[in-house]
Amino acid sequence: MRIAIIGSGGREHAIATTISKSSLIKEIFCIPGNAGTSKIATNVEMDINQFDELHKYIKDKFIDLVVVGPEQPLVNGIVDYLEQFNIKVFGPNKIASQLEGSKIFTKKLCQKYNIPTANFGIFENKIDAKKFLENAKYPNVIKADNLAAGKGVYICNNKQESFMAVEEIFDGKFGEAKNVLIEEFLEGEEMSYFIISDGTTVKSFETAQDHKRVLEGDSGKNTGGMGAYSPSRLISNDLENKILDKIIKPTLKGLSDLGTEYKGFLYAGLMIVENEPYLIEYNVRMGDPECQTILPKLKTDLAEIIDSCCNKKLADINIEWTNKKSLCVVLCSKGYPDTYQKNVLIKNLENLSLNEDNFIFHAGTKNENDKFFATGGRVLNFISLSDDFLKARNEVHQCIEKLDWNGGFYRRDIGYKVIN
Ligand code: AMP
Ligand code: GLY
């Protein structure tokens, strides 16, 4: 099989690495990929939002299957576009991708199918939103409707903060805004729950918890994710059944009532309040860095799993996992998530020796004359599997210290809830 993976982050390098171990795979193309993927695949410099160019390349190279990593092309309808040419694509279609593309779409689905979620209101202009906020309870949560790369969410402690959030959203900080969403603040512990689906059969794809804030103790600015661990400490059979029965199945029923279905990975961002799951958000893809954290635990052939999803044969596959714990730390460029230097040489990376339980996945890197350069904010993901989260974290730290890259920084407290 010739496979193309769309995207350039740590998630896509983890998918490419895992797929490369499959005997089904002849060749991998990463569009556009990074320095890590260039070692196991052909990187293709191309704008992933130019669907006609993508289609031409996929046809010219006789690619059998396309895996879409990030949300933007999914929300823009890449699956529908490529499927009209009979290309096999792993990922949800445009209607289903609204689960991530529009928070209001998801909230309305929750309302219609009784899916537990924070109470909410939708407001179409500044005046109505502020009128409601005059007498609202605090803290509350204000969200832009559209994709905002994880940034369109404000936790507001008082009227002043909430008014500012409403101003910024309607003034177009996250693109044109027709509405804002104002939500009740849920107090609990977050957990990410993943499934994989072929449109009919759904299987669990493990749990994780990420750390989104840049500073230790989960403080400072929001980022794409500074690290993660898997499994979540909250998961149990009882909780998993509640998540499936109260959240996942009614969501898939809602899509079916809209005349469509869900194929791909689905990531439910949950708040667990007294062992009850509430949906905070859906993402129509794997998480980053959750994907890098979870895939090293997978024992079953990923190419076979994905191909079976595209052939509606997921029911025939038994997905197996190691029992080990996995922990991932993201090494970032100093200054991230604000400004940072680009094209900084990372020495020593090719000399790091890894044992079979240690993994490095690239994110913002490029390869030039056999040297590695940091080009992005999140640069490298270090993962370790172990019987114990503390051991896993210690191994990750040893690996990062061996690299000795002084252009980078990382959080030393990833997984503190499962370690201290
Ligand atoms: P979202 O982009 O919707 O996942 O929101 C980003 C982050 O904001 C989440 O990971 C939560 O930490 C927090 N958050 C969002 N909605 C709520 C809510 N209703 N109650 C408490 N925290 C929330
Ligand atoms: N780690 C959060 C995300 O992928 O959205």
- Residue 341, classified by CB atoms within 10 Å of its CB into exposed (0-12), middle (13-18) or buried (19+), is exposed
Nearest ligand, measured from the Cα of 209: 2
Band of the pLDDT at 149, cuts 50, 70, 90? low
* Cα of 33 from ligand 2 centre, angstroms: 18
Q: Say yes or no to pLDDT of 224 above 80.
A: yes
| Of 328, 298, 297, the residue nearest 396 (C-alpha) | 328
- pLDDT, tens digit, for every residue of 167-220? 999 998 888 888 999 999 999 999 999 999 999 999 999 999 999 999 999 999
Nearest ligand, measured from the Cα of 9: 2
Which residue's C-alpha comes closest to atom 2 of ligand 2?
287
CATH number of 119-184: 3.30.1490.20
| Of 392, 413, 321, 360, the residue nearest 35 (C-alpha) | 360
Question: Cα torsion at 48, 53, 59, 64 (round to 10°)?
Answer: 10
- pLDDT, tens digit, for every residue of 229-258? 999 999 999 999 999 999 999 999 999 999
150 lines ligand 2 (CB under 6 A): yes
d(CA 330, CA 412): 10
d(CA 304, CA 42): 21
Q: Does residue 332 come out as left (phi exceeding 0), alpha (psi in the -120 to 50 range) or beta? A: beta
Confidence (pTM): 0.95
Averaged confidence pLDDT in the chain: 95
The CATH superfamily of 325-409 is: Phosphoribosylglycinamide synthetase, C-terminal domain (3.90.600.10)
pLDDT for 145 equals: 82
Residue whose entry in the numeric block shows the structure tokens 């896509």: 12
- pLDDT, tens digit, for every residue of 14-64? 999 999 999 999 999 999 999 999 999 999 999 999 999 999 999 999 999
Is residue 41 a contact partner of residue 69, using CB atoms and an 8 Å limit? no
Is residue 125 a contact partner of residue 170, using CB atoms and an 8 Å limit? yes
Q: Say yes or no to pLDDT of 148 above 90.
A: no
Would you list the domain boundaries of the chain?
Answer: 2-90, 119-184, 189-316, 325-409
pLDDT (average), residues 317-334: 98
The CATH superfamily of 189-316 is: ATP-grasp fold, B domain (3.30.470.20)
By percentage, how much of the chain surpasses pLDDT 70? 99
Q: Say yes or no to pLDDT of 147 above 80.
A: no
Band of the pLDDT at 150, cuts 50, 70, 90? low
The alpha-helical segments, DSSP class H, found in 268-339 are 290-294, 302-310
Q: What's the distance, Cα to Cα, between the start and end of the chain in Å?
A: 45
- For residue 102, what are its two tokens? 């529009």
pLDDT (average), residues 378-398: 97
pLDDT for 178 equals: 86
210 lines ligand 2 (CB under 6 A): yes
Q: Which atom of ligand 1 is nearest to the CA of 185?
A: 20
The listed CATH number (3.40.50.20, 3.30.390.50, 3.30.460.80, 3.90.550.10) that belongs to domain 2-90:
3.40.50.20
Q: Which atom of ligand 2 is nearest to the CA of 150?
A: 5
10 lines ligand 2 (CB under 6 A): no
By percentage, how much of the chain surpasses pLDDT 90? 90
* Cα of 153 from ligand 1 centre, angstroms: 7
d(CA 414, CA 87): 40
| Of 308, 362, 356, the residue nearest 331 (C-alpha) | 362
